[in-house]
């Protein structure tokens, strides 16, 4: 219970609660996997590679008189590049919008010192209720101690969870539910996402790129859905993949188009699952020279542009 909030009187029907829950944490902690587990749908792309989430993704869970709008974020991203700063800004904005903060910590990995310090700063500066979700409890090497002592130092509750198996989510949800402000729902009760279907199509294609390509290639690919014709059967979707350099175009397309064909069929299956309908997916590869380093490039693909961007 938030300290400023009065206890409901016995017999009183509790008012509805609703608000934003920002998911913070280091790359690879499992923020996106946790959002998906909390919403019960694969909304936010999650891969074994770090920094796959480039902008905020909102997923909605409505239960009884409580609506939680989870904001997945790129997390605590450090790095001098424009794109790193764009991601860090996204995280900061989601944290500002959060009525509750949940810091996701990988309990199966050693805590790196510097970024963990940033996480601590975020939590220490928070003016809203916050908690730690100590994730990956399903792994044998799980050790909650470092996260627990971080939580203790900040006087925050810590919840041991596994985003992968769904274990331990109930106590975390109870904490979030009781910490949200009273107020009407922010979205219709049946909505699970706060973005149009084409956003998720774009993200599913990006996720598949992360799964199928190596090294820096997936980090260079922005996806733009050019056409989305839901009136057609199968649904017709055309999307372009924008790489940063000409040499990457060949890498994505692959020998005699094998790469792009494999990408297209795996992405199509995911999109069909998401839409619940057959899909015809047309993919194009384009070169948008150094888009991650330019204001125009970031803006073109809908990413946050830092004020001082060239
Ligand atoms: N074993 C295990 N793996 C997890 C869990 N949560 C996330 N992962 C894995 O950790 C990696 C990073 O997850 P992701 O959600 O993309 O992390 P993010 O960068 O914080 O969004 C992926 O390979 C996930 O499958 C968990 O509870 N248990
Ligand atoms: Mg993520």
Write the pLDDT tens digit of every residue in 30-60.
999 999 999 999 999 999 999 999 999 999 9
User: From the centroid of its chain, how far is CA 238?
Assistant: 24
DSSP 291: G
Q: Which structural domains are found in the chain, ordered by start?
A: 17-179 (3.40.50.300), 197-300 (3.30.300.20)
Output the CA 26–ligand 2 centroid distance in Å.
Answer: 9
Output the CA 148–ligand 1 centroid distance in Å.
Answer: 19
Averaged pLDDT for residues 57-82: 95
Output the CA 6–ligand 2 centroid distance in Å.
Answer: 36
The pLDDT score that the predictor gives to residue 1 is 42
Rounded Cα distance between 54 and 84, Å, is: 9
Output the CA 32–ligand 1 centroid distance in Å.
Answer: 7
The pLDDT score that the predictor gives to residue 114 is 78
pTM of the complete model: 0.93
Rounded Cα distance between 228 and 231, Å, is: 9
> Which residue matches tokens 């770090």?
50
Task: Give nearest CA residue, ligand 1 atom 11.
Answer: 48
Please list every protein residue whose CB sits less than 6 Å from any atom of ligand 1: 25, 27-33, 46-48, 52-53, 75, 135-136, 138-139, 162-164
Q: What is the DSSP string of 11-76?
A: TPPPPPEEEEEEEEESTTSSHHHHHHHHHTS--S---SSS----S-EEEEEEETTEEEEEEE---S
Give the helix/strand (H/E) hosting 147: helix 145-154
């Amino acid at each position: 219970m938030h300290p400023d909030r009065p206890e409901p009187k016995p017999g009183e029907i509790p008012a509805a609660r609703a608000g934003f829950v920002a998911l913070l944490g280091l790359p690879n902690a499992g923020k996106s996997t946790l959002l998906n587990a909390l919403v019960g749908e694969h909304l936010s792309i999650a891969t074994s590679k770090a920094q796959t989430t480039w902008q905020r993704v909102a997923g909605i869970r409505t239960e009884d008189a409580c609506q939680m709008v989870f904001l997945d974020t790129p997390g605590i991203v450090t790095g001098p590049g424009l794109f790193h700063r764009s991601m860090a800004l996204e995280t900061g904005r989601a944290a500002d919008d959060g009525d509750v903060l949940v810091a996701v910590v990988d309990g199966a990995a050693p805590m790196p010192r510097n970024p963990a310090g940033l996480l601590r700063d975020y939590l220490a500066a928070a003016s809203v209720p916050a908690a730690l979700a100590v994730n990956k409890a399903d792994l044998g090497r799980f050790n909650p101690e470092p996260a627990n002592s971080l939580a203790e130092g900040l006087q925050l509750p810590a919840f041991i969870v596994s985003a992968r198996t769904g274990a331990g989510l109930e106590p975390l949800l109870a904490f979030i539910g009781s910490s949200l402000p009273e107020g009407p729902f922010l979205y219709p009760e049946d909505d699970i996402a706060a973005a149009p279907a084409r956003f998720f199509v774009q993200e599913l294609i990006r996720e598949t790129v992360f799964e199928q390509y190596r090294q820096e290639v997936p980090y260079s690919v922005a996806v733009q859905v050019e056409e989305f014709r839901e009136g057609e059967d199968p649904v017709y979707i055309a999307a372009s993949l924008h790489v940063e350099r000409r040499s990457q175009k060949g890498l994505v397309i692959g020998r005699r188009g094998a790469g792009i064909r494999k990408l297209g069929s795996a992405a199509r299956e995911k999109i069909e699952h998401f839409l619940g309908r057959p899909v015809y997916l047309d993919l194009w590869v384009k070169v948008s020279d150094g888009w991650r380093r330019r204001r125009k490039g970031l803006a073109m693909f809908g990413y946050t542009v830092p004020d001082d961007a060239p």
